[in-house]
């Protein structure tokens, strides 16, 4: 378990409320981590603020990954885990977008390590990071047209019967 | 890769192109080059012997673990984690179990924690063992590798006594371990602890103050602490650059706070520092294992090997045949009939090459809604061009092997 730091959590929540207003984000506590949901337009401002501020110093990007909630208003999301070595404290930031509007601000300006993480997210979810230096597929083949981690991309059906392979078939 | 090489290079605009007075060569290192120690490609732009730039192509053994995990119950995801960093599979397995335990809110008994610490530190030794001896091979010292590989065999024999398999271990269960350590396992562990320090010392004698080895590795492939942090380095590679970040100390898990150990640090972040940090970590791991054994010997309890969570931990087989409750629990565990909390957890362990993280989103079903692996290799391998730019080709090979890039972890 990560050590919860309720004081620090409250400072972050209050400071962001002051700076960015109530409407742009919500927060919750998931297990041992503060989880912020922010709007896409403010995402980079908030991350930049947490990076630059001399008190917070959230300067280590632990992970960046996509997530897909089909059937909701804003289906696609990106989740960031930030780590402040000064406070030894982690936070999670999430933002969501509609399936029709895939453009997303890049984090490579703040964190060079976001380069491949964003390429991976583009590869699997089709989110287009504006301003990324080299946004091409990374793990899948270049001529693939689908985005396989979206929920509507099927895994092979476990009960299919059209395969006739006496040794390896099902 | 189906595309011709020219297309790859033109798609990667950051490769420097030659002017009329200079001609650069393109060298294709990989995908199946012995120097890469895994299936990934480096398209290198060379000016004679010097590396001007390089572009990595990865994904040759991508197996879609994150997608597969969305169709599998929690306990069936363990074998997937084996195949990420296959040099230290138990670390991945136990990291995954701890993530699930965090989601379910299971408290693990101290004895299980200590047993897990023993396994995890053994896995760390096994991984560093291979990485360091391979650095030796790439700098021309093949002998040490053969001796060290024999010791890895000894570690695998201990795994075999603990869980029945060797390379891809599928070790542990949600809530504990699948069985208690047998007497044979303890015996082999004791023999290993007695013999390994001698071999390690001999190996150090071979390389640490060896003039040729030092000339080949010092100031080769350096990275500053600042750049290493910006690139998301973790583990020995970050510590070699001088940042004392270790998950075992910063966010202790599995009762690591009970142990007394040192985090070795480098200063230059070069190949020699990475080698030395790993070397010292092996000594620290040996000491941690010894401490864990001492703690376990002091405990009265010699039997506990799992937490009391019948909803998630399979009952013993003989009970399943003779006991109604056990049969019901067995059925519920296998069919995934038990409710799981809705929520998101992130848990990380200090893997052999960095912070190995699991981001698990549960919607209450028997499978994860989304599972993302933070694979340390994938994150720090992108810094390679910056580290090898301007160096000799043979140094670039050495830098690559000292970063401990494991293809399975790179590609998930």
Confidence of residue B327 (pLDDT cuts 50, 70, 90): very high
Chain A residue with the nearest C-alpha to that of B107? A1
Q: Is B220 exposed, middle or buried (0-12, 13-18, 19+ CB in 10 A)?
A: buried
Q: Give yes or no for B263 touching A (CB within 8 A).
A: no
Contact A59 B229 (CB under 8 A): yes
Statement: residue A147 has pLDDT above 50: yes
Cβ-Cβ contacts under 8 Å, B238 against chain A:
none
Residues B95 and B214 in one domain: yes
pLDDT for A6 equals 83
Closest by alpha carbon to B87, among B43, B54, B42, B134? B134
CA separation for the pair A170, B384 (Å, rounded): 43
Residues B89 and B44 in one domain: no
How many CB atoms sit inside 10 A of residue B154's CB? Answer: 17
CA separation for the pair B273, B135 (Å, rounded): 12
Cβ-Cβ contacts under 8 Å, A83 against chain B:
none
Which CATH superfamily, name and number, covers A6-105? Answer: NADH:ubiquinone oxidoreductase Nqo5 subunit (3.30.460.80)
Average pLDDT over residues B179-188: 92
Confidence of residue A8 (pLDDT cuts 50, 70, 90): confident
Per DSSP, A167 falls in state T
Which CATH number covers residue B175? 1.10.645.10
Residues B220 and B282 in one domain: yes
Statement: residue A170 has pLDDT above 50: no
Chain A residue with the nearest C-alpha to that of B257? A1
Alpha-carbon B397 to chain mean position: 20
Statement: residue B10 has pLDDT above 60: no
The H-assigned helical ranges of B40-109 are 65-69, 78-82, 89-104
**Cβ-nearest to B59 among A92, A140, A158:** A140
Contact B405, B38 (CB under 8 A): yes
CA separation for the pair A121, A124 (Å, rounded): 5
* A101 three-state secondary structure: coil
Domain range for B292: 65-411
Q: Give yes or no for B359 touching A (CB within 8 A).
A: yes
Residues B233 and B290 in one domain: yes
Contact A133, B14 (CB under 8 A): yes
Residues B53 and B74 in one domain: no
Statement: residue A24 has pLDDT above 90: no
The 10s digit of each residue's pLDDT in B301-324 is 888 899 998 888 999 889 999 999
* B388 three-state secondary structure: helix
Residues B191 and B47 in one domain: no
Chain A residue with the nearest C-alpha to that of B251? A2
Domains held by chain B: number = 2
Confidence of residue B6 (pLDDT cuts 50, 70, 90): low
Phi and psi at B11, nearest 5°, equal: -75, -20
Residues B35 and B81 in one domain: no
pLDDT top residue among A41 and A159? A41
Statement: residue B1 has pLDDT above 60: no
The 10s digit of each residue's pLDDT in A78-121 is 999 999 998 999 999 999 999 888 999 999 999 999 999 999 99
Residues B287 and B305 in one domain: yes
Residues B91 and B192 in one domain: yes
pLDDT for A166 equals 62
Confidence of residue B239 (pLDDT cuts 50, 70, 90): very high
Statement: residue B126 has pLDDT above 70: yes
pLDDT for B11 equals 57
Contact A88 B251 (CB under 8 A): yes
Kind of pairing, strands B25-29 and A25-30? unpaired
Own/partner pairs for B46-49, CB < 8 Å, 24+ apart?
B46/B393, B47/B22, B49/B392, B49/B393
Average pLDDT over residues B139-148: 88
The 10s digit of each residue's pLDDT in B247-282 is 999 999 999 999 999 999 999 999 999 999 999 999
Residues B298 and B187 in one domain: yes
Confidence of residue B2 (pLDDT cuts 50, 70, 90): very low
Torsion sign, CA atoms B244, B249, B253, B255: positive
CA separation for the pair B23, B11 (Å, rounded): 20
Statement: residue B360 has pLDDT above 80: yes
Residues B344 and B404 in one domain: yes
* CA angle centred on B222, ends B219 and B227, rounded to 5°: 155
How many CB atoms sit inside 10 A of residue B173's CB? Answer: 22
Q: How many contacts (CB atoms, under 8 Å) link A and B? A: 99
Contact B143, B206 (CB under 8 A): yes
User: Distance, in angstroms, between B160 CA and closest chain A CA?
Assistant: 28
Closest by alpha carbon to A68, among A158, A156, A147? A147
* B97 three-state secondary structure: helix
Chain A residue with the nearest C-alpha to that of B342? A30
């Amino acid at each position: 378990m990560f050590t919860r730091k309720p004081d620090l959590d409250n400072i972050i929540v209050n400071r962001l409320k002051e700076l960015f207003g109530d409407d742009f984000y919500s927060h919750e506590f998931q297990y041992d981590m503060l989880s912020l949901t922010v709007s896409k337009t403010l995402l980079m401002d908030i991350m930049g603020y947490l990076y630059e501020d001399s008190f917070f110093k959230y300067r280590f990007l632990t992970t960046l990954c996509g997530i897909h909630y089909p059937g909701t208003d804003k289906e696609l999301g990106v989740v960031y885990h930030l780590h402040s070595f000064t406070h030894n404290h982690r936070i999670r930031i999430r933002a969501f977008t509609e399936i029709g509007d895939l453009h997303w601000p890049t984090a490579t300006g703040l964190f060079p390590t976001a380069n491949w993480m964003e390429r991976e997210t583009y590869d699997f979810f089709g989110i287009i990071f504006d301003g990324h230096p080299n946004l091409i597929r990374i793990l899948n083949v270049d001529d693939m047209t689908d985005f396989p981690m979206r929920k509507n991309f099927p895994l092979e059906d476990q009960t299919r019967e059209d395969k006739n392979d006496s040794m390896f078939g099902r | 890769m189906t595309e011709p090489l020219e297309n790859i290079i033109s798609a990667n605009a950051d490769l420097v192109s030659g002017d009329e007075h200079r001609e650069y060569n393109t060298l294709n290192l990989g995908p199946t080059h012995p120097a890469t120690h895994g299936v990934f490609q480096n398209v290198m732009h060379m000016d004679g012997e010097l590396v001007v730039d390089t572009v990595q192509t990865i994904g040759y053994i991508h197996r879609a673990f994150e997608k597969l995990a969305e169709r599998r119950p929690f306990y069936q995801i363990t074998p997937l984690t084996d195949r990420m960093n296959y040099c230290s599979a138990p670390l991945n397995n136990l990291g995954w179990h701890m993530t699930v335990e965090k989601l379910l809110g299971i408290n693990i008994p101290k004895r299980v924690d200590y047993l897990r610490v023993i396994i995890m530190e053994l896995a760390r030794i096994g991984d560093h063992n291979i990485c360091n001896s391979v650095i030796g091979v790439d700098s021309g010292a093949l002998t040490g590798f053969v001796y060290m590989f024999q010791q890895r065999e000894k570690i695998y024999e201990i795994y075999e006594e603990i869980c029945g398999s060797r390379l891809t271990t599928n070790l542990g269960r949600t809530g504990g371990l699948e069985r208690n350590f047998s007497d044979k396992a303890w015996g082999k562990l004791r023999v290993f602890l007695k013999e390994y320090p001698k071999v390690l010392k001999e190996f150090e004698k071979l390389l640490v103050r060896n003039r040729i080895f030092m000339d080949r590795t010092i100031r080769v492939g350096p990275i500053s602490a600042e750049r290493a942090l910006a690139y998301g380095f973790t583990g020995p590679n970050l510590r070699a650059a001088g940042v004392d970040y270790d998950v075992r100390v910063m966010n202790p898990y599995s009762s690591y706070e009970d142990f007394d150990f040192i985090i070795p640090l480098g200063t230059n972040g070069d190949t020699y520092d990475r080698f030395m940090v790993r070397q010292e970590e092996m000594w620290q791991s040996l000491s941690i294992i010894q401490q864990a054994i001492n703690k376990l010997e002091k405990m009265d309890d010699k039997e506990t090997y799992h937490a009391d969570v019948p909803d998630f931990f399979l009952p013993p087989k003989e009970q399943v045949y003779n006991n109604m409750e056990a049969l019901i629990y067995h059925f519920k565990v296998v069919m995934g009939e038990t409710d799981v909390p809705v929520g998101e957890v992130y848990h990380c362990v200090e893997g052999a090459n960095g912070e190995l993280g699991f981001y698990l989103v549960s919607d209450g079903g028997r499978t994860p809604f989304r599972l993302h692996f933070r694979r340390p290799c994938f994150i720090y391998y992108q810094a390679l061009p910056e580290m090898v730019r301007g160096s000799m080709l043979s140094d670039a090979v050495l830098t690559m092997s000292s970063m401990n890039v494991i293809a399975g972890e790179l590609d998930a």
